[in-house]
Structure 1
Amino acid sequence: MNHGGVTWNTSLYHNVFRSVAGSYSQAAKNLVSEGYATDPTYATKLINLINSYKLYNLD
């Protein structure tokens, strides 16, 4: 998959895409469970930032 010149290995991020994860919070959790994020609290931190700044409105 190519997004603006950046090529993504979709098999690595499969469970992060909306079509699979279903929500931004599940996608954040999947980043940790799939090994992308090494900080075990990454999902919580990311979800808190999204909620704090109401970034879900941009989705």
Structure 2
Amino acid sequence: MTAPVKESIYIIQDDMEAVSGKFKDEALLERFVADPELKQHIRQTEKAFPKYELIAE
């Protein structure tokens, strides 16, 4: 595995750990999400399933 690929994997893992199983407040959305529609979807999902987890396979 090349260094850039390893670095990308670490970045994705760090991002997943930052949001998975945590309350997705506005500060977190601003940090990770640019799309307004996706932000709204996350807000709605967070209301129904507080602190929902993301599991990468």
TM-score by length of 1: 0.36
Q: Which has the higher strand share?
A: 1
Q: TM-score normalized by structure 2? A: 0.37
Greater RCO, CA 8 A, separation 6+: 2
